[in-house]
C-alpha cells in the first residue's frame, strides 16, 4: 500500500498495539493503541473549533440510526455542519439520514449566521490563534514533504528526452496543482481524516512515460506541438477516468470488490515500478536518454566504465544506501526530511569552500539545467491545444490508460483501512472513495495528474499536531504558495538530491516486492511476483500487468487442481438416512447398502478438478474393483459444490454412460434444479436421463435408495397380505426392480433379506388380526425374543388412535402425554435447533416407536410430530405408564428396557444423520 514517496504500509501485517516500527521511508510508524469503548481517538469531533458555536450534533442509537441531540459545544470546523446534517456513514457502509433537505438547508444557514456573529469576538480570535500555532509544526513538516515529493515526482512525470526535454518544471507545477486540489477536497470534509494529506501517486509515472512515448512515436517528432497537446490531454484524461471510477465505486458502495484482486500481482507491479525508478535515477543523474537505456554491455560501459558518469550517479546511490542504513537503526519520523534538507546545504558549502563555478557544475550535470526556470507555474496550460490534439492517437492509448487506471484504484482501498487502524479512527472506505472521485475529477478538469490520500504523510502530519481541518487548509495554502513561487528554485537543486530521492523510492519498492515477501507468500505466488518484475523491466508495464494476471490465473488453476474435490468416499454402510425403521429392516439395510457408494464433493468443479473425480468414479466400475465390490447406486453429494462449469458437466455425462452400462444408478443430491449447479447439469441434458435421479438433500437420497432395497426384497417374496410402507418419494422405484434379477447384487439382497427381515415376517411370528401384539413383536424382536404371553397384559394399557394425514401429534416444547407405537401409516418429526441451523426431519414407519424418550423422562418434546400418511397408533399415556409401573412392575421394567434399546439405536442413527448433513 502506498506510503509517502511510493513507500507503503501493508495492513496485512499489523504490528503489536502501541508498538513503534519503522516504515520503509525511515519514518516512525506508531501502531494503534487499543480502542477506548469504541470511541475513535482521532475524529472530526476531536478537532479544536475555528469558532466556538453551538449546533445540534448527531449521535447513534444501538441500531446505528442517528439522533439529533440538543446543542452542545461545536468542535468540528468549516464543513462540519454539512457533515453533521448530511446522511451519516456508519462503519459498515450504511447511510442514516439525519434530516430532510429543507431542515438541512435551514440548519446550515442558521449556523453560518452564528459563525459570522462569533467570528469577531476576541475569544474566537484567541482560539483560532492557538489552533494555528499548534498546527504550525505539522504544516511546516507537510510542506517540506511536499517539496521533496514535488521535486522527485514532478521532475520525472515527463520523459527527459526528445520533445519532452526541459519539462521537469511543468511536471513539478502539475504535481503541486494536484496536491493542492486533493488537500482542499480532503480538508473541506471529503475525507473523514481531518488531517488527510493528498498528493500524486508515484507508481503511475511509468505509465505516463508509456503514454508520452507512444504518442510521440505515433505523431512523429516533426510535430512537437501536437505531441505535447495530445500528451497533456492524455494525462488529464487519466485523472478523469480515475475520478469517475473512484466515485462510482464509492457511490455504489463497491469498494470492497477491489479487495478481491490478488495481492501478489499488485506487489509484483510495485516491484516493477521500483526497478523503473532505479533506472530513472540512473538516467536522471547521467542525463542519459530513457530510450537509450537497455540491459546491454554498452549501457554498462556508459554507466560504470565512464568515470564521469559513474561520479554523477554513484554519490546519489550512496546517499540512498546511507539513508537506509541510518533509518534501519534509528526510527525517528524527522530523519527522512532532515536528511534531504541537509544535503543541498552541504553541497553548496563544499562549492563555496572549493570556489567552484556553478555554471560549470550545471554544464557537467551536477545541477539541473532549467532553460525554462523563469516561466510561471501556470505555463504548462499553454501546452493544451484541443485543435492540435490528435484524437485518434489519444484513442489508441486507451489500453495503457486502463492499465494506469487499474493501478490507481488498487491503492486507496488498502491505504484507508490501514490509516484508520494506525490512527484508531472509524472510517467508511466508500466515503473516502467518493472523496478520491471528486479530487481526481477536479484534477482532470484542471488539466493535471491523478492524486490520492498518502498514508505516511498523513500519519506524520497527525503525529506532530495536524489533527484539525484548519491544519489541512493551512497546508493547502502553503503548498499553493510554493506553487506560485514557480519552478525557478529547481535550477539550484543538486541533481544528486533528486537522484537519491528516486533511488530511495526504487530500492524501497524493490525490497518490499522481492525481499519482504520471500517468507510471506507461497512459492507460486513468489514466482509470480518475480516474473512480473522481470516482465515489466525487460518488456513493458502494460504487458507486465497482463502477464501477471495470466500467470496468476494459470497458477490458480494449478493450485485448485491439486486440491481434492472429493472430501469423502464411502459406502452406504457407514451412514443411513434419518428414517426410523424396524430393527429387522435396519439390519437388512446394513448389509445391502454396501452396494451404495457415496462420493461427497466440494469446491468449484471445473476442467482442472473434474479429471480426478471422473477417474475415481471409473475406478469403481473397473473389473478388478467390481468383482470385489459391485455397486447399485452411486450418490454424488453436491451440497458443498459452489459451481460446475461445462467441462465438469460433460464429464458427468460420460460418467453416467459408463455407470449405465453396469446398470448403476447415478444419484445427485444437495442441489436444486433451478440452482446454478442444477442448471449446469440440465444444460448438458443429464437430468431426466435414464438411471439418473436428483434430490435436494443428502438424507432424501439415502432414504430413496434404502426404500428401493426394501421394496426389492418384499416384491421378491410376494407373501399374501404382507406389504411394506415406505416414506419419501415413491416414483421411479419400479424401474430398478427387474434389473436386480439373476445378478450377484440380487443374490446379495436375497441372502441378506433371509437373514434379517424374513425372520421377523415368518408365518410363526404373525397372527392375523391380532394387534397391537404383532406390532410389538415387529418393534422389539430385533432386541431379544418376545414372549407373547408375557406381553399380553400390556395390551390393556394401550389406546388405539386413528389420525388423518396432516394431523399434529405433538409440538416441540409440549409436555409429554405418552409414547406411541406405530401400527400403520407414517409420522414425520421435525427438529428445530436454532435460527441459523436448518431443521432435521425424521420419518417413522410402522413397527417403530415415537415420543418414547420424552414420555420416559418426563421432559418436554424436542420435535414437532405430524402425520405424513394416515396412521393408526397405539398410545401408552403417561398415566397408564405410571399405572403399569405400580400394577405390573416387572413387566414395566422389561418393557422400559426394550424401549430404551430401540431408542438408543434410533438416536444413534439420528445423530449420525445430523453429523453427516454436510
pLDDT digits (tens, 9 = 90+) for 885-899: 999 999 999 999 999
* Arithmetic mean of pLDDT, 208-217: 90
Q: Specify whether the CB–CB gap between 705 and 594 falls below 8 A.
A: no
Residues 886 and 824 in one domain: yes
- The closest of 337, 458, 472 to 30, measured between CA atoms, is 458
Distance (Å, whole) CA 156 – CA 167: 9
pLDDT value at 73 more than 60: no
Helix (H, G, I), strand (E, B) or coil at 153: helix
Spell out the alpha helix ranges (H) of 781-863.
788-791, 852-857
Containing 66, the helix (H) or strand (E) segment is: strand 66-68
Inside any domain, residue 796: yes
In angstroms, the CA 487 to CA 5 distance is 20
Q: What is the mean pLDDT of residues 839-855?
A: 89
674 in helix, strand or coil?
Answer: coil
Residue 761's CB: how many other CB atoms inside 10 A? 19
pLDDT band at 77 (very low <50, low <70, confident <90, very high): very low
- Please give the Cα distance from 809 to 849 (Å, whole number): 13
Kind and range of the H or E element at 640?
strand 633-644
Looking at the domain assignment, is residue 869 inside a domain?
yes
* Overall pTM surpassing 0.85 (yes/no): no
pLDDT at 845 > cutoff 70: yes
Of 844, 807, 839, which is closest to residue 728 (Cα–Cα)?
844
* Partners of 667 in the β-ladder: 635, 693
Is 113 in the same domain as 147? no
Mark whether 486 and 621 lie in a shared domain.
no
- Pick from 338, 281, 345: nearest CA to 153: 281
DSSP strand pairing (95-96 vs 54-55): unpaired
Cell triple for 767: 397372527
Distance CA 285, CA 875 (A): 98
* pLDDT, tens digit (0-9, with 9 covering 90-100), for 645-670: 888 888 898 999 888 888 889 999 98
Of 124, 155, 179, the one marking the end of a domain is 124
The string over 670-698, giving b where at least 16 C-beta atoms fall within 10 Å of a residue's C-beta and e elsewhere, is bbeeebebbebbbebebbeeebbbbbbbb
C-alpha cell at 389: 490534439
CA-based nearest residue to 423, from 144, 197, 251, 87: 197
- The answer to whether residue 122 scores a pLDDT higher than 60 is no
Same domain, 154 and 231: yes
> Where does a domain end: 763, 783, 803?
763
Which among 556, 554, 558, 548 has a CA at the least distance from the CA of 528?
A: 548
pLDDT over 70 (residue 377): yes
Residue 615, class by beta-carbon neighbours within 10 Å (0-12 exposed, 13-18 middle, 19+ buried)? Answer: exposed
The pLDDT score that the predictor gives to residue 513 is: 83
pLDDT for 368 beyond 90: no
724 and 814 part of one domain: no
- Looking at the domain assignment, is residue 54 inside a domain? yes
Give the C-alpha separation, 165 to 447, whole Å.
20
Of 604, 475, 424, the closest CA to residue 143 belongs to: 475
Let me know if residue 529 belongs to a domain: yes
Give the SS3 label for residue 357: coil
The DSSP code for 28 is E
The Cα 634–Cα 611 span in angstroms is 17
Greatest alpha-carbon span in the chain: 129
Residue with the larger pLDDT of the pair 217 and 567: 217
The whole-number pLDDT of residue 359 equals 82
Greater model confidence, 85 or 581: 581
Q: Is there a single domain that holds both residue 102 and residue 140?
A: no
Asked if 18 and 31 touch (Cβ cutoff 8 Å), the reply is yes
Cβ atoms of 794 and 884 closer than 8 Å: yes
User: How far apart (Å, rounded) are the C-alpha atoms in residues 523 and 117?
Assistant: 66
Whether residues 538 and 608 fall in one domain: no
**CA angle, corner 580, sides to 577 and 581, nearest 5?**
100
And the C-alpha cell for 70?
Answer: 440538543
How many domains are there within the chain? 4
> How many whole angstroms separate alpha carbon 278 and alpha carbon 60?
51
Q: What are phi and psi of 472, to 5 degrees?
A: -65, -40
- Are residues 681 and 721 located together in one domain of the fold? yes
- Cα distance between residue 131 and residue 121, in whole Å: 16
In this structure, are strands 692-695 and 849-850 parallel, antiparallel, or unpaired? unpaired
Once rounded to an integer, what is the mean pLDDT over residues 12-29?
39
- CATH code assigned at 837: 2.60.120.10
Q: Which residues contact 646 (CB under 8 A, 6 or more apart)?
A: 680, 683, 684
Does 110 share its domain with 216?
Answer: no
- C-alpha 302/C-alpha 444 separation (Å) is 39
**Do 47 and 169 sit in the same domain of this protein?**
no
Distance from chain centroid for Cα 644: 21
Q: CA-CA distance, 892 to 819, in Å (whole number)?
A: 14
Is residue 290 domain-resident? yes
What whole-number distance in Å separates Cα of residue 846 and Cα of residue 829? 14
Q: Are residues 264 and 285 in the same domain?
A: yes
What residues have CB less than 8 Å from 608, skipping those under 6 apart? 557, 558, 560, 561
Is 525 in the same domain as 567? no
Confidence of residue 446 (pLDDT cuts 50, 70, 90): very high
pLDDT of residue 114: 60
CA angle 733, 734, 739 (to 5 degrees): 105
Q: Which cell numbers in the block locate residue 568?
A: 469423502
- 317: cell is 546511490
Q: How far apart are the first and last CA of the chain?
A: 39
pLDDT for the residue 6: 39
Is residue 242 assigned to a domain? yes
Domain of residue 661, residue span = 563-571+584-763
In a domain, 579, yes or no: no
pLDDT at 732: 55
Round to whole Å and give the CA distance between 644 and 393.
Answer: 43
Task: Specify the pLDDT at position 117.
Answer: 58
Given the C-alpha cell 533506472, which residue does it identify? Answer: 279
pLDDT at 769: 56
> If you count DSSP H runs as helices and E runs as strands, how many of each does the chain have, helices first?
33, 21
Cell of 53: 458555536
Cα separation, 914 vs 252, in Å, equals: 41
Residue 558 lies in a domain: no
Taking only the tens place, the pLDDT of each residue in 733-761 is 545 555 445 578 888 888 888 888 776 65
CATH label of the domain that carries residue 746: 3.30.750.24
* 714, 745, 763 - which closes a domain: 763
Look over the chain and give the mean of its residue pLDDT values, rounded to a whole number. Answer: 77
Give the percent of the chain with pLDDT over 70: 78
User: What's the confidence (pLDDT) of residue 225?
Assistant: 92
- The CB-side HSE value for 874 (13 A sphere, CA atoms) comes to 21
**What DSSP string runs through 588-605?**
HHHHHGGGEEEEEEEEEE
Q: CB-based burial of residue 479 (10 Å sphere; 0-12 exposed, 13-18 middle, 19+ buried)?
A: buried
Question: What is the predicted pLDDT for the residue at 442?
Answer: 95
| Tens-digit pLDDT profile for residues 154-185 | 888 898 778 888 888 888 899 999 999 999 99
**Confidence band (pLDDT; 50, 70, 90) for 723?**
low
- The angle at the Cα of 300, spanning 296 to 304, to the nearest 5 degrees, equals 175
Contacts of 48 (CB under 8 A, 6+ apart): 75, 77, 127, 130, 131, 134, 468, 470
Amino acid at each position: 500500500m502506498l506510503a509517502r514517496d511510493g513507500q507503503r504500509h501493508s495492513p496485512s501485517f499489523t504490528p503489536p498495539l502501541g508498538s513503534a516500527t519503522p516504515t520503509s521511508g525511515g519514518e516512525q510508524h506508531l501502531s494503534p493503541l487499543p480502542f477506548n469503548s469504541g470511541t475513535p481517538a482521532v475524529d472530526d469531533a476531536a478537532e479544536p473549533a475555528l469558532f466556538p458555536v453551538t449546533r445540534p450534533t448527531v449521535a447513534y442509537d444501538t441500531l446505528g440510526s442517528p439522533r439529533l441531540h440538543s446543542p452542545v459545544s461545536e468542535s468540528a470546523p468549516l464543513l462540519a455542519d454539512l457533515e453533521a446534517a448530511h446522511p451519516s456513514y456508519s462503519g459498515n457502509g450504511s447511510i442514516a439520514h439525519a434530516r430532510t433537505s429543507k431542515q438541512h438547508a435551514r440548519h446550515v444557514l442558521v449556523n453560518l449566521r452564528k459563525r459570522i456573529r462569533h467570528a469577531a469576538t476576541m475569544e474566537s480570535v484567541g482560539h483560532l490563534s492557538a489552533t494555528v500555532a499548534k498546527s504550525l509544526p505539522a504544516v511546516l513538516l507537510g510542506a517540506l514533504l511536499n517539496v521533496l515529493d514535488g521535486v522527485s515526482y514532478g521532475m520525472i512525470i515527463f520523459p527527459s528526452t526528445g520533445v519532452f526535454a526541459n519539462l521537469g518544471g511543468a511536471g513539478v507545477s502539475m504535481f503541486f496543482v494536484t496536491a493542492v486540489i486533493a488537500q482542499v477536497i480532503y480538508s473541506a470534509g471529503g475525507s473523514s481524516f481531518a488531517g488527510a494529506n493528498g498528493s500524486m501517486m508515484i507508481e503511475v509515472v511509468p505509465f505516463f512515460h508509456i503514454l508520452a512515448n507512444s504518442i510521440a512515436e505515433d505523431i512523429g517528432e516533426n510535430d512537437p506541438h501536437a505531441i505535447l497537446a495530445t500528451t497533456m490531454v492524455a494525462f488529464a484524461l487519466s485523472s478523469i477516468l480515475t475520478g469517475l471510477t473512484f466515485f462510482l465505486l464509492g457511490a455504489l458502495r463497491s469498494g470492497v470488490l477491489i479487495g478481491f484482486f490478488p495481492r501478489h500481482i499488485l506487489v509484483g507491479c510495485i516491484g516493477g515500478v521500483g526497478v523503473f525508478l532505479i533506472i530513472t535515477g540512473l538516467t536522471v543523474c547521467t542525463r542519459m536518454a530513457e530510450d537509450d537505456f537497455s540491459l546491454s554491455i554498452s549501457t554498462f560501459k556508459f554507466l560504470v566504465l565512464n568515470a564521469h558518469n559513474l561520479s554523477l550517479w554513484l554519490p546519489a546511490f550512496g546517499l540512498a544506501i546511507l539513508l537506509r542504513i541510518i533509518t534501519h537503526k534509528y526510527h525517528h519520523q524527522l530523519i527522512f526530511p532532515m536528511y534531504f534538507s541537509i544535503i543541498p546545504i552541504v553541497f553548496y558549502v563544499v562549492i563555496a569552500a572549493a570556489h567552484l563555478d556553478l555554471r560549470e557544475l550545471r554544464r557537467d550535470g551536477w545541477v539541473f539545467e532549467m532553460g525554462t526556470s523563469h516561466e510561471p507555474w501556470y505555463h504548462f496550460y499553454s501546452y493544451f491545444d484541443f485543435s492540435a490534439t490528435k484524437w485518434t492517437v489519444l484513442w489508441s492509448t486507451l489500453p495503457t490508460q486502463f492499465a494506469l487506471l487499474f493501478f490507481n484504484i488498487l491503492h486507496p482501498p488498502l491505504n484507508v483501512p490501514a490509516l484508520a487502524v494506525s490512527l484508531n479512527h472509524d472510517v467508511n472506505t466508500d466515503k473516502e472513495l467518493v472523496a478520491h472521485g471528486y479530487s481526481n475529477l477536479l484534477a482532470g478538469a484542471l488539466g493535471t495528474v491523478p492524486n490520492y490520500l498518502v498514508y505516511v504523510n498523513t500519519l506524520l502530519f497527525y503525529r506532530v499536531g495536524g489533527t484539525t481541518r484548519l491544519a489541512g487548509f493551512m497546508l493547502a495554502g502553503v503548498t499553493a504558495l510554493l506553487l506560485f513561487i514557480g519552478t525557478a528554485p529547481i535550477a539550484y537543486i543538486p541533481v544528486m538530491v533528486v537522484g537519491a530521492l528516486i533511488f530511495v523510492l526504487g530500492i524501497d519498492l524493490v525490497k518490499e516486492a522481492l525481499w519482504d515477501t520471500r517468507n510471506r507468500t507461497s512459492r507460486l505466488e513468489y514466482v509470480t511476483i518475480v516474473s512480473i518484475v522481470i516482465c515489466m523491466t525487460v518488456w513493458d508495464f502494460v504487458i507486465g500487468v497482463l502477464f501477471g494476471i495470466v500467470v496468476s490465473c494459470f497458477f490458480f488453476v494449478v493450485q485448485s487442481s491439486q486440491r481434492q474435490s472429493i472430501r469423502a468416499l464411502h459406502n452406504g454402510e457407514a451412514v443411513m438416512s434419518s428414517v426410523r425403521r424396524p430393527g429387522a429392516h435396519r439390519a437388512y439395510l446394513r448389509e445391502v447398502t454396501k452396494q451404495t457408494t457415496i462420493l461427497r464433493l466440494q469446491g468449484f468443479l471445473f476442467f482442472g478438478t473434474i479429471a480426478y473425480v471422473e477417474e475415481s468414479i471409473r475406478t469403481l466400475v473397473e473389473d478388478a474393483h467390481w468383482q470385489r465390490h459391485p455397486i447399485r447406486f452411486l450418490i454424488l453429494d453436491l451440497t458443498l459444490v459452489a459451481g460446475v462449469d461445462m467441462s465438469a458437466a460433460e464429464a458427468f455425462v460420460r460418467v453416467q454412460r459408463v455407470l449405465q452400462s453396469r446398470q448403476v444408478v447415478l444419484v445427485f443430491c444437495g442441489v436444486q434444479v433451478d440452482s446454478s449447479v442444477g442448471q449446469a447439469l440440465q444444460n448438458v441434458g443429464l437430468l431426466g436421463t435414464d438411471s439418473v435421479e436428483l434430490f435436494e438433500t443428502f438424507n432424501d437420497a439415502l432414504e430413496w435408495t434404502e426404500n428401493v432395497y426394501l421394496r426389492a426384497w418384499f416384491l421378491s417374496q410376494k407373501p399374501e397380505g404382507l406389504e411394506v410402507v415406505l416414506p419419501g418419494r415413491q416414483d421411479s422405484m419400479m424401474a430398478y426392480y427387474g434389473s436386480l434379477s439373476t445378478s450377484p447384487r440380487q443374490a446379495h439382497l436375497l441372502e441378506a433379506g433371509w437373514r434379517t427381515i424374513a425372520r421377523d415376517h415368518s408365518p410363526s411370528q404373525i397372527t392375523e388380526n391380532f394387534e397391537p401384539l404383532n406390532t410389538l413383536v415387529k418393534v422389539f424382536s430385533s432386541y431379544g425374543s418376545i414372549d407373547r404371553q408375557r406381553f399380553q397384559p400390556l395390551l390393556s394399557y394401550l389406546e388405539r388412535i386413528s389420525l388423518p394425514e396432516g394431523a399434529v401429534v405433538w409440538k416441540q416444547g409440549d409436555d409429554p402425554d405418552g409414547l406411541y407405537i406405530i401400527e400403520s401409516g407414517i409420522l414425520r418429526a421435525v427438529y428445530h435447533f436454532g435460527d441459523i441451523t436448518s431443521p432435521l426431519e425424521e420419518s417413522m414407519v410402522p413397527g417403530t416407536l415415537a415420543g418414547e424418550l420424552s414420555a420416559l423422562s418426563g421432559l418436554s418434546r424436542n420435535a414437532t410430530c405430524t402425520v405424513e400418511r394416515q396412521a393408526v397408533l397405539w398410545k401408552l399415556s403417561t398415566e397408564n405408564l405410571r399405572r403399569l409401573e405400580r400394577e405390573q412392575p416387572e413387566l414395566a421394567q422389561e418393557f422400559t428396557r426394550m424401549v430404551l434399546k430401540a431408542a438408543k439405536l434410533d438416536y444413534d442413527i439420528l445423530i449420525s444423520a445430523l453429523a453427516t448433513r454436510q
